[in-house]
A and B are shown apart, each in its own frame.
Chain A
Amino acid sequence: MQRLPKDYRTALRPGYRFWHRTSRRHGWGTLGSTSGREETRGLHQGPLGPPRLARYPFSPMTVLAFSLVVGSISLLAGLVGSLTGLGGGVVIVPTLVLGLGVDIRYAIGASLVSVIATSSGAAAAYVEEGYTNLRLGMFLELATTAGALGGAYLAARVPPAAIATIFGLMLLGVVFFAPRGGQVRQSPRSTDPLATWLRLEGVLPPNEGALPYRAARVGLGFGLMVLAGVLSGLLGIGSGAMKVLAMDWAMRIPFKVSTATSNFMIGVTAAASAGYYLSAGYLDPGLTMPVMLGVLAGALIGARLLHRLRTRVLRLLFQAVILVLGVEMIYNGLAGRFLP
């Protein structure tokens, strides 16, 4: 009898699970688990063994263990994200992809749904406090939803490696351009004709001195919002930092109004691409369930703790984590470690 190659001998042990690739599908299985109709690939077509990023720490996890792990990670991300104001979604996708070997498209879908949940919850509180400018939000949502639809359309066509690389660049951007908002830069004398025509103005709530404000450079802000929408749809994030940048820096809206209105818009932006993700099959209930519940719970706890904690150190720490994840995503994207 011809000696089998070493791989086969290990694979012949009862109960040994290995990664099999066939012409139709691939997945974890035992030696006989591919049905006869599916022709297995020969060794010359590539080594046996899982593709590099599609691996699990041990053997494949059970659904229960996986849900618990993902749920706890999401809880932590939601908590730290809401405490630092940097958003939890940005760390969920890289953690799922790099740490647990989840396909980036499932990860994007799950993250986006969690973004809708946290944004809607937080927006409700902000709207009641009176910082949110509903008219400004509605006008700019025209830009973000159109952009998000385009981004979701792109996500189905751009290879995952490219998405990962763009994601990494975005993470680096979040660290370096994270909105801080110390200086008050109001321009109530703005003469942008668009702002006048669209009445993009408002008054801060009485406890902030009831100062009036009016938007400047509406065209620039609108353009940046389209870009924010595209990023949101392509990467499954809220892209709140970019929205705040567009309002605070470009349109010279007071910082608190910018953050509140941005939070208000994130849910609608995400809903625009979520509908598309659903029909493209990106929303896996088994993954989205723990991510969404975890992030939501974390954000709720974070909102309770926010007034009692000093978040400076936490913020620096979180920025370091985001930086590392960003570099890792870019490296893995460029090194071609993602399945097509």
Chain B
Amino acid sequence: MMPANPFMPGAPPSQERTGRLEKQVARVLRAGVTTAAAVVLVSGLFYLARYGAEPVQLGVFRGEPEPLRRVPGILNEAARLGRRACIQFGLLLLIATPVLRVALACAAFINQRDWQYAVISGGVLAVLLASLLSGLR
């Protein structure tokens, strides 16, 4: 039984709804990480099979080639089963997981008509998308 909370007079119903949100959030996080790790693992094995014998060149910073820096480029190359692009696609899935989680929370806040927190999570979502979309150009 829930003890009375002095700060949340109408707590029980919203608590229950938050509980459902928490389960959904946990599910999104788990699914995102598992999918991303699986994609990276499989394409990583293909990558090692193909490039395993080549020398490593990471001592000097050159930056990734242009297609592997942009979201559309990664999707294009990954669709053609480029090994490095497929790994990069897995990383993209991983980066997208927290973004999806924030979007989910934003939707839940709107659903609860909690406008204050809908705006706050909308702001977080905007910053995240701005950073991801800086890779779209």
The reply to whether B130 and A139 form a contact with Cβ atoms under 8 Å apart is: no
The reply to whether A272 and B59 form a contact with Cβ atoms under 8 Å apart is: no
Number of A-B contacts (CB under 8 A): 231
Taking CB atoms, residues of chain B closer than 8 Å to A134 are 18, 21-22, 25, 105
Tell me if B111 is interfacial: C-beta within 8 Å of chain A: no
CA distance A328 to B85 in the complex (A): 35
**Closest chain B CB from A209 CB (angstroms):** 9
A59 and chain B: residue at smallest CB distance: B55
Taking CB atoms, residues of chain A closer than 8 Å to B101 are 120, 267-268
Tell me if B107 is interfacial: C-beta within 8 Å of chain A: no
CA distance A66 to B21 in the complex (A): 42
The reply to whether A60 and B30 form a contact with Cβ atoms under 8 Å apart is: no
CA distance A290 to B52 in the complex (A): 13
CA distance A124 to B32 in the complex (A): 11
Chain B's interface: helix, strand, loop or mixed, by majority? helix
**Closest chain A CB from B79 CB (angstroms):** 16
CA distance A106 to B54 in the complex (A): 18
Tell me if A25 is interfacial: C-beta within 8 Å of chain B: yes
Taking CB atoms, residues of chain B closer than 8 Å to A210 are 2-3
If the complex has contacts A149-B127, A212-B7, are A116 and B25 also in contact, measured as CB distance less than 8 A? no
- Residues facing B in A118-136 (CB within 8 A) are 120-121, 123-125, 127-128, 130, 132, 134-135
Chain A's interface: helix, strand, loop or mixed, by majority? helix
B-binding segment of A50-58, A81-89, A169-177: A50-58
CA distance A288 to B89 in the complex (A): 12
If the complex has contacts A27-B57, A339-B61, are A116 and B98 also in contact, measured as CB distance less than 8 A? yes
**Closest chain B CB from A295 CB (angstroms):** 11
Most A-side CB within 10 Å, residue of B18, B98, B133: B98
Tell me if A198 is interfacial: C-beta within 8 Å of chain B: yes
The reply to whether B131 and A273 form a contact with Cβ atoms under 8 Å apart is: yes
Taking CB atoms, residues of chain B closer than 8 Å to A284 are 58, 64
If the complex has contacts A67-B48, A113-B95, are A128 and B56 also in contact, measured as CB distance less than 8 A? no
The reply to whether A55 and B84 form a contact with Cβ atoms under 8 Å apart is: no
CA distance A152 to B131 in the complex (A): 10
A27 and chain B: residue at smallest CB distance: B57
The reply to whether B48 and A198 form a contact with Cβ atoms under 8 Å apart is: no
B41 and chain A: residue at smallest CB distance: A293
Taking CB atoms, residues of chain A closer than 8 Å to B27 are 124
CA distance A121 to B98 in the complex (A): 11
Task: List 12 A-B pairs, Cβ < 8 Å.
Answer: A25-B60, A64-B53, A67-B44, A116-B95, A120-B29, A135-B117, A141-B102, A188-B6, A268-B101, A275-B95, A275-B131, A289-B43
- With A124-B27, A145-B128, A271-B99 known, 16 other A-B pairs at CB within 8 A are A25-B62, A28-B55, A59-B55, A60-B56, A117-B37, A138-B102, A138-B105, A138-B120, A203-B3, A212-B7, A271-B128, A272-B131, A283-B91, A286-B84, A292-B94, A293-B44
* Residues of chain B whose beta carbon lies under 8 Å from any beta carbon of chain A: 2-3, 5-8, 18, 21-23, 25-27, 29-30, 32-33, 36-37, 40-41, 43-44, 47-48, 51-64, 68-70, 84-85, 87-88, 91-92, 94-99, 101-102, 105, 116-117, 120-121, 123-124, 127-128, 130-135, 137
* Residues of chain A whose beta carbon lies under 8 Å from any beta carbon of chain B: 25-28, 50-51, 54-56, 59-64, 66-67, 101-103, 105-106, 113, 116-117, 120-121, 123-125, 127-128, 130, 132, 134-135, 138-139, 141-142, 145-146, 149, 152, 160, 188, 198-199, 201, 203, 210, 212, 214, 267-268, 270-276, 278-290, 292-293, 296, 339
